[in-house]
Amino acid sequence: DDDVAGDDDSEPGDDDVVGDDDSEPGDDDVVGDDDSEPGDDDVVGDDDVAGDDDSEPGDDDVAGDDDSEPGDDDVAGDDDSEPGDDDVAGDDDSEPGDDDTAGDDDSEPGDDDVAGDDDSEPGDDDSEPGDDDTAGDDDDTPVDPEGFTYELSRGEVEFSLVLDRAMNPIFAGKPMLMGVLDVEDDEIWMRLAPGRGHGVEARQDLCYPTAELDPGVFADPWFEGGPGEFGRQAFGGEMPVWDAWLSGEFAADHDSFTDGVLSFVADVGNVPIYGNICSALEPDGIHCGPCPDGLTETCVDVTLSQIDGTRILDLALVPRTAEDIDADPGC
């Protein structure tokens, strides 16, 4: 013993620092430690009982950690229930391998644990804003088709082969495109535009005017919108179109629609395949009449049915008026 005044000298080999209780041989006897367990690291301020359990060698003994597993990093507030957890404060750490982002429930190994996702099933992607995160969903189904653009199939006119052929100027090399501008509750806003190319090559033809359909009904999956006007300049003047309406039924993922119906009033006076198209339509019970702008009397009502719509990725339709086109040197 070094016989420092105040040491209890109860064990040979104690260093007898003033204030240590020297209750165990081998304690380092730092001032303020209670030295209640052999092998404690005796950091100043640890009581080595209250809060810290000191149940495993190698614990770092931060105050408030439960130290229930060797190798835990013992961050204050972590439950440290599994070895290998990263023990971020506020994570439940219920499974090894969870990334334990604060606010995730970490209920399944392999969840991506984005904050606010329910992560209730392994395999939920939870990676897109607007996912509903319902248990068992793959969460890749958008809640509505806002922002989507579709290429419309040709469709057909029933009961009149003459009028069906007369529609070729609209669809031969110029696919009709439809863009969903907005969806709010039970309303839908759509834009129609002539295009060029087909499939992944489909693009809007900026040298033709668009038709802005009036707000329509959206009762998912069914939709209908209109009327809208292309006007006298539609399709380069080959076939002016007014009062366009479009309806159909979306697929569950809104990547397509079926049972589409496109109706409109068309001036067929310039259709090149018949000398007098109005006379050719008479046997089918279709009669030409005045056009909405009052300039000609060669307009007919047209309904194209059995139209399918296929989504075109990365394509947004822009509004184009006759004035825009006249001012565009590329048209």
| pLDDT tens for each residue of the chain, 331 residues long | 555 555 656 656 565 565 565 565 555 555 555 555 554 555 544 445 544 555 555 555 555 555 555 555 555 555 555 555 555 555 555 545 555 554 455 554 445 445 445 444 444 545 544 454 454 444 555 678 999 999 999 888 878 989 988 887 666 667 899 999 999 989 999 999 999 888 888 999 999 999 999 999 999 999 999 999 988 877 766 788 999 999 999 999 999 999 999 999 999 888 877 778 899 999 999 999 999 999 999 999 999 999 999 999 999 999 999 899 999 999 9
pLDDT attached to residue 246: 97
Q: Please tell me the distance from the alpha carbon of residue 178 to that of residue 156, in angstroms, as a whole number.
A: 17
pLDDT attached to residue 2: 55
**Phi, psi of 24, deg, nearest 5:** -135, 140
- Angle CA(272)–CA(167)–CA(192) in degrees, nearest 5? 125
pLDDT attached to residue 136: 46
pLDDT attached to residue 9: 60
Using CA atoms, how far residue 168 sits from 39, 172, 221, in Å, is 91, 5, 29
Can you list the pairs that 288-294 forms with residues at least 24 positions away whose Cβ atoms lie under 8 Å?
A: 291/240, 291/242, 291/265, 291/267, 292/229, 292/242, 292/243, 292/265, 293/231, 293/232, 293/240, 293/242
pTM exceeds 0.75: no
* Residue 65 CB coordination number (10 Å): 22
Provide the β-strand partners of residue 262. Answer: 246, 304
Q: How far apart, in Å, do the first and last CA atoms of the chain sit?
A: 103
Helices (H), 220-276: none
